Structure 1
């Protein structure tokens, strides 16, 4: 077992009981507010591009148009969803991904599977480590920076990783969550989609 995995497991043992209680309470509130399954499950690309299912609390209703297509994010996100996003509490279920060994507490954020063929050689280096619940890009702008900046920060993390670097990022994450910095870009509920390096 490497040092990073040991650190993840020890931290999980400490905070998992509190997180599970919080997840249960938040899930019950979500059911009452959304009137549907409170959890969002989605395939993401993990270390070396291996696929896994990420767990999150749902922040948007499943609303569709007459053709069955999902409505825009702005029309589906609700007041409760905005609270979860602003506080990053929707990310709490990912502690299960950490326990299962699919993610780490710190690392590049796991992105959608269809982004994989769009990475250039340098950007693919972010896949050399496990994805994280938080990361260097998340404490340096999160959703308010460009994809190119985000990928450069991810690769910086890959190059200079250490346990102390992880501890620093975790501390900065607590601060950023408390001040609600970098949650979204103006006019967007989510980060705009990555469409490649020619945009």
Structure 2
């Protein structure tokens, strides 16, 4: 796995500078992840079985994403697309993606496919709240079109984020960057809790983008 090259400025952290904030954020990550995995285990088993019944292939989907400071890690998801969905090259996820299976369309809409990422949170590769992690190659590509796109890598990526509760799949990379930079510059426990609260509203309303 190859790291995304960062400029020296990207090594500087932004947001809430209080010493206690990263510690409280990590405790929140671990606590919510453990609760989420315990409550979500029946859903993982049920939809995992449906995925295997509908199409051949693995239940879980693994993909390289860029984490904090561009360091790569393997993200975990329930498989929502047909096997070899990217045989013609990497593509950015869009609404009503034709590559999604019938079960996949449901678990993507309800965000059930993201539940395994709680394991990534427990490992410390992700946080509950932060910019959504993207593939290294797409970050390089978007950076050529959107100035400052790599600045999303200044913080640990998240399961949900400020961009996810403010838009859907129709958001462009530039629009997502604007929301992500707002979060990076204003990080705080209060903002994290606000985003977590709004995320439940997004899940109930069936809107938002992951």
Quick one: which of 161, 164, 178 aligns to 2:187? 161
Q: Which residue of 1 aligns with 2:8?
A: none
Q: Structure 1: 5+ residue runs without aligned partners?
A: 184-190, 192-199
8 A contact 1:43–1:51 mirrored in 2:
yes
Higher alpha-carbon deviation: 101-110 or 5-14: 5-14
Higher alpha-carbon deviation: 149-158 or 112-121: 112-121
1:83 Cα offset (Å): 0.5
Q: Which residue of 2 aligns with 1:114?
A: 137
Q: How does 1:93-172 map to 2 (within 5 A)?
A: 93-118=116-141, 119=143, 122-172=148-198
- Alignment length (residue pairs): 180
1:16 aligns with 2:37: yes
User: Cα RMSD (Å) of the superposition?
Assistant: 2.2
8 A contact 1:12–1:99 mirrored in 2:
yes
Q: TM-score under structure 1 normalisation?
A: 0.82
CA distance in 1, matches of 2:165, 2:204: 12
1:36 aligns with 2:62: no
Q: TM-score under structure 2 normalisation?
A: 0.78
Q: Which residue of 2 aligns with 1:77?
A: 100
Classify the secondary structure of the residue corresponding to 2:62: strand
Quick one: which of 195, 199, 203 aligns to 1:177? 203
Q: Which has the higher contact order (CA 8 A, sep 6+)?
A: 2
Classify the secondary structure of the residue corresponding to 2:169: helix
